[in-house]
Structure 1
Amino acid sequence: MMKRRFQTLFLAALATTAVLSGPALAAVGAWTEGDRARVRLLAGGLDDEGALMGAIEIELAPDWHTYWRSPGAAGIPPNTDFSASGNLRDIAVRYPVPQRYDDGYAISNVYDGRVLLPLVIDAGDDAAPVDLRLSLDIGVCHDVCIPEHFDAALEIPSGATDAEAARAIAEAWKLIPGPPEPGVLAVESVARSGGTDRHPEYVVTIANAGGAPAEVFVEGPADWYAGVPEPMPDGKDAAYRVVFDRLGAKTPIDAAQFVVTIVTPDRAIEQRLGPD
């Protein structure tokens, strides 16, 4: 039920972005083709706070997938580099909720089909064009996994808008987790419960007032690998046990910060916090 809900939202985004495959416009970049995927940049006007909204659009070959920012037991996280851009003060990349994929050997967090990664673009000079240049490295997998590199570009004139691109980006934002809702859907605590320094174990306790089935993704420091959280009944709240692998990690346990994403059939939240 939960996966069908987010698949429905994802298909809505696909239906919207499908109309963008025509000639490049001022706010729609050209496709950069790879072996099993292709990539382009979109821009869709300003948000309510005056930030320029954009997206990285990734279209994958049938039966191939790529990975979330935290890939899980296998896979390559995306690496985005906008350092060659012009008139760009700052840029943030947002990631929609992934699907869990079990190939019989490992469980990974993936995207398939077509995915849009929304961008929040801060121009250095609002009156001048933004020369957006992306260097992107991703892993794509089917029976084998291969690295793919893409260089995509889009010059965005000041005030440029494209209704179709804006609509596609708006649909993509519907798949982005929102802020926590205390007492409704939120993380109550992340506490170490045992394990070893190599494999520390934590319990993540959430508030889930609606009682709907929840899927939980837990990320630790970049040099820690997180296993799949396992639910532990805990009264009216829900508790999840997660074990990390710190092989080769330099981030000390007492300095660990966590990002927890909670997904239910009708909402998703993302929360950053430290250990209790």
Structure 2
Amino acid sequence: MQMSLQLLNAASAQTRVCAVAALFALGFMAELRADPITTDWIYGKKSAARLIAAPGAVKGAYKAGVEIRLDPDALTYWRSPGETGVPPVFDFHDSENLKEATVQFPTPLRIDEAGLDAFGYRGMVTFPVDVTLADENRPAVLSVSIEYAVCAAICLPVKAKAKLELPAHPGEGAAPDEASPEEAIFAAAKAKVPQRLDAAGRDAKILIGRDRGATLPTWRVQVRPEPQTVAAVSTDPGAAQTDLFVEGQEGWYFESKKGEKPNEFLIVEVEGPKPDGLAASAGKIPVTLTLAGPRQSYEFAVDLGAIPASP
């Protein structure tokens, strides 16, 4: 009887050890697969910022993001801020084992700021960052210095610095059973980045012609209608509307505004380079157009100098 109790106690002890080992192994696996890679919020004037990351689909790649959370009455700016404001600046020079960090900009909103058109964001914005390690077999440090403006009653400059340690290659690139919160944030932000189109794709979206009768150089852009389905039509009054943003090269400044017709926009050249400038002498006026839509946004290059006058 005593021997049976000893054997039973030994078996129970072994079972407890195995159970603890199994729980430890499960916890270790969970740590490897789902450990969040996120900094704390860094609080600034009427805003807060943080850096997030998640493993990419291939070895040596990470999906990162710079999140900026704004007070309800505040806004911050796009890469081309419009008639007012300054664009955000992201500096990754203090990172370690970093080959490349490419920041992308979600489609902005047109915001009335004291009668001026500002292009930017309200509420929460996440700038996706595609990260590539220099040596995929070594861990890395992703460090970013952020400078951005926050405007409410007045505009204030904000600086923040965030740093994350990135493992060399967690999970061997395999997708986890459930996406981490960081992956979900990155995916949602990536979906708001305009899709880049070539010339054929551009021409399928817009018609553009030069306005003969305008005093300043002006182009009319007509957005082609897209097929609508019942599910695609939004009745939300706060849903994004069709808009057009214009970015010129250094020395150029353009305004974009709604035309008289539905889904028509005017591009007006407000300022151009000196007549002896290379672009001016060649007759080229290269711009990037961002077409914001309620379901999808697009980005494409256009040489306005090559556009014929409208009939």
Q: Normalising TM by the smaller chain, what interval?
A: 0.7 to 0.9
Residue in 1 that maps onto 2:16: none
CA contact (8 A) 1:130 1:156 kept: yes
Structure 2 residue 129 is matched with structure 1 residue 119: yes
Residue in 1 that maps onto 2:150: 140
Report how many residues are paired.
247
Residue in 2 that maps onto 1:182: 201
Residue in 1 that maps onto 2:300: 271
- 3-state SS, counterpart of residue 171 of structure 1: helix
Residue in 1 that maps onto 2:181: 164
Residue in 2 that maps onto 1:240: 265
Residue in 2 that maps onto 1:221: 249
Please report the TM-score for the alignment, with normalisation by the length of structure 1.
0.76
- 3-state SS, counterpart of residue 84 of structure 2: coil
In the alignment, structure 2 segments of 5+ residues that lack a partner are: 1-34, 172-178, 234-240, 307-311
Distance (Å, rounded) in 2 between the aligned partners of 1:190 and 1:219 = 18
CA contact (8 A) 1:85 1:134 kept: yes
Q: What is the one-letter code of the residue matched to 2:256?
A: V
Instruction: Give the Å deviation of 1:204.
Output: 3.8
Instruction: Give the Å deviation of 1:42.
Output: 0.9
CA contact (8 A) 1:133 1:154 kept: yes
Higher strand share: 1
Instruction: Give the Å deviation of 1:37.
Output: 1.4
Q: 1:252 to 1:151 in 2, by over 3 A?
A: same
Residue in 2 that maps onto 1:201: 218
CA contact (8 A) 2:256 2:265 kept: no
From 85, 88, 108, give the equivalent of 2:118: 108
Q: 1:189 to 1:125 in 2, by over 3 A?
A: farther
- 3-state SS, counterpart of residue 181 of structure 2: helix
Instruction: Give the Å deviation of 1:123.
Output: 1.3
Distance (Å, rounded) in 1 between the aligned partners of 2:209 and 2:155 = 34
Amino-acid identity (%) = 26
Q: What is the one-letter code of the residue matched to 2:258?
A: E
Runs of at least 4 residues off by over 4 Å: 187-196, 247-251
Please report the TM-score for the alignment, with normalisation by the length of structure 2.
0.69
Q: 1:220 to 1:183 in 2, by over 3 A?
A: closer
Q: 1:248 to 1:49 in 2, by over 3 A?
A: farther
In the alignment, structure 1 segments of 5+ residues that lack a partner are: 1-24
Residue in 1 that maps onto 2:138: 128
Q: 1:130 to 1:49 in 2, by over 3 A?
A: closer
Distance (Å, rounded) in 1 between the aligned partners of 2:60 and 2:301 = 25
| 1:210-231 CA distance string (max 9 Å, x none) | 4897311111114433313333
Higher helix share: 2
Q: What is the one-letter code of the residue matched to 1:91?
A: A
Residue in 2 that maps onto 1:39: 49
Q: Which protein has the larger Cα radius of gyration, Structure 1 or Structure 2?
A: 2
